[in-house]
A and B are shown apart, each in its own frame.
Chain A
Amino acid sequence: MEVKDIKIKSMKTEDFRDNESLQKYIDELEKGGVGIKVAPLDKVINWGRSYSVWPLTFATSCCGIEFMCVAAARHDFARFGFEVTRNSPRQADVIFVSGTITKKMAPVLRRLYDEMSEPKYVIAVGGCTVSGGPFKSSYHVVEGVDKIIPVDVYVPGCPPRPEAMLYAMMQLQRKIRVESIFKMPKNPEKGSVILSKYNSDGTLVTPESETKQIVEGGAE
């Protein structure tokens, strides 16, 4: 569908039409001789991953209702193979952070993210999760979930329309398709690997004490 001319000061219409920039960027790099070749096996697995992104049923507020609309008959994200919503974070691939994250909820969200198995993706749905949104000036709201967990796709809106969420999913698919499985990204901040664990008393485990704990756990 062609996007009509839009009237937003900070954004050009071309930017709206541009969906494939990630792929183009990769192509450009390849032409320049930078080895981001996606191996055939990678391609197959990426194809599988991109069509089977199972979301965790996670909703804190308004955007959760729109998430339900995406799952329901009219918008139906099952068409992309996303409909197997898992309630257990161990089995989910993507977490739609739909709704405001407050300071009481933040550690819970972090724990949920840590409980998910790799590869895992995060979509920040709605203004609140992108930046705090309408509640930015509140004392109890986290200003953007990217302060807690790494985010793959941001969906602005309050709440975003279901179409926007479908678009976010498609962008996530595009992102998955250029992944390399056998070569981990060199910059750990950009990738989805962030190691963190909680001690039994709930405090964050630093990398040094973590290795220690695993050894202790093994000795048990």
Chain B
Amino acid sequence: MLEVGGILSWIHEALSSACPEWLTLLIEYVLIGVGFLALYALIALILILLERKICAYYQCRLGPMRAGFWGLLQPLADMFKILMKEIIPLLKNDKFLFFTALFLVIMGSLCTFGALEFSKDLIGIDFNVGVFYVLAISSLGVLGILLAGWSSNNKYTMIGAMRAGAQLVSYELSSGLSLLAIVILGGTMQLSGLIEAQSELWFLFQSPFTWIAMVIYLIAGHAETNRGPFDLPEAESELTAGYHIEYSGITFGLFYVGEYVNMFTIAGIGTMVFLGGWQPLHIPGADAFNEIMNMIPTWLWFFAKAFALVMLSLWVRWSFPRLRIDQLLHLEWKILMPISLLNMLLMALWVAYF
């Protein structure tokens, strides 16, 4: 079979038969770490190419064409370039915080990325309060952005950081609340448990309130990734480059990569809680259909769904103008928040009575 889980358990057995337990664990940890980093970078590269191509097609252009066939090697070219670019030291800024900010952003992004279940049994971090873990660790990025803006000693980055702080803290509320609505429905906080609960039917089809939760989650998640129409912290036409003006070379590259992977992570979590994660599409009763669906490897299901959500995000990104800060906060605190609170209540009633 094409399942990755099988290969992993084979590696585990091979290792434990050859080495003592502590060495097995050590090798496995290293392997997992390297594997995650590789996947992280790979997804970033794919997303960068995807975005540039798709945005080009929205805009009646061709996008990258020269670097490799059909521009396929474009992100690699960017990577080589940005790795070799100078990192400019600033004179009067807080250097410690300046670089700490960067690592906070990347750490937040990477740790959230680790909570994704890419295929059956392939999950990096899975414990009983997985949903809380995701919510908590993803806010590390906010701290990073705030620090980045503050420590750059620049008025533009300062404004960008303040905007980012206000925006991310607000939108985390409704994304959290909509996830909690699903926790009520699934009855567990463990991410893998939530996916298990969808083996018969995806949550999306289990309750009408999941739809509301999903729409709110996608809006809030999109806002959390700082992408248009919510790209106020960067706001190219207003703040030139927002909170990362002063970052150059790979320091900027990490922000750039982090942004793209965050987009994927948000889509991935959305997939796991609303669209069944790696679970194939099942229709209760239609056994033949379900069998055919089961033939498709689970990791393919996960990535297909996640990239579908990413596409949705790109679609929004390239067709909407930017919101203003007061409209942004109005949308969150006066529209999305009350709806998601109400939705949570209705979901609880639904679970209790149906």
Contacts and interface: CB of A to CB of B under 8 A. Distances in A.
Interface of A: 44-45, 47-53, 72-73, 76, 78-81, 83-84, 86-88, 90-91, 93, 115, 117-119, 181, 217, 220
B77 A81 contact: yes
B62 A87 contact: no
A87 B234 CA distance: 10
A78 B248 contact: no
Nearest to B234: A87
Given A45-B84, A217-B91, A88 B241 contact: yes
B85 A51 contact: no
Interface in B247-279: 247-249, 252
Contacts of B67: 51-52, 81
B80 A118 contact: no
B66 A81 contact: yes
A72 B64 CA distance: 13
17 contacts: A45-B81, A48-B79, A48-B84, A52-B80, A78-B61, A79-B63, A79-B65, A79-B66, A81-B67, A81-B77, A83-B56, A84-B78, A87-B241, A91-B241, A117-B87, A117-B88, A117-B248
Given A88-B245, A91-B241, 17 more contacts: A45-B80, A47-B80, A48-B77, A48-B78, A48-B79, A51-B74, A53-B81, A78-B56, A79-B63, A80-B65, A81-B66, A84-B52, A90-B88, A90-B247, A91-B248, A117-B85, A217-B92
A48 B81 contact: yes
A49 B84 contact: yes
Contacts of A117: 85-88, 248-249
Contacts of B74: 51-52, 81
B119 to A, nearest CB: 32
B128 interface: no
B236 A87 contact: yes
A53 B66 CA distance: 13
What 10 pairs across the A-B complex have the smallest Cβ distances? A48-B80, A90-B248, A51-B77, A87-B240, A88-B241, A117-B86, A52-B81, A51-B67, A118-B86, A117-B248
B245 A81 contact: no
Contacts of A88: 240-241, 244-246
A81 B78 contact: yes
Nearest to A48: B80
